[in-house]
Structure 1
Amino acid sequence: MPVVRIEMIEGRSDEMKLSLIREVTDAVTHSLNIDKEEVDILITEVKKKEWAKGGVLWPWK
């Protein structure tokens, strides 16, 4: 059973996350030729103040 982990900055709506989950599930099931019930997706939301890129805290410049 594949597990897909998605980490992203907080703030997206439940509808957006559900859309993401559906599309990722479709991609995995298509690529691996498996049933959607075999795919687990874990979303971790991170506070903006705890996310850095290139040594710079959010917002990146």
Structure 2
Amino acid sequence: MTQQIQDIWKRFDDLIAKGGNLDTKLIIEALKLHAELMNLRLGGLPHETAAIMQRQKP
């Protein structure tokens, strides 16, 4: 995991800790989980794209 990604997770954790009420904390946690899922889903995309491009070459 890159330093940028780790910094983003730390920012989410800070926002969760500073969240005023439970609803705010839950929304921030949901956003963090969504960001983690998207990171996992999109993380392999460059490799998959490269593999597809290799198969396309004659």
Task: Please indicate the TM-score interval, normalised by the length of the shorter structure.
Answer: 0.3 to 0.5
The answer to which structure, 1 or 2, has the higher relative contact order (CA under 8 A, 6+ apart) is: 1
Larger radius of gyration: 2
Tell me the TM-score normalized by structure 1: 0.37
Tell me the TM-score normalized by structure 2: 0.39
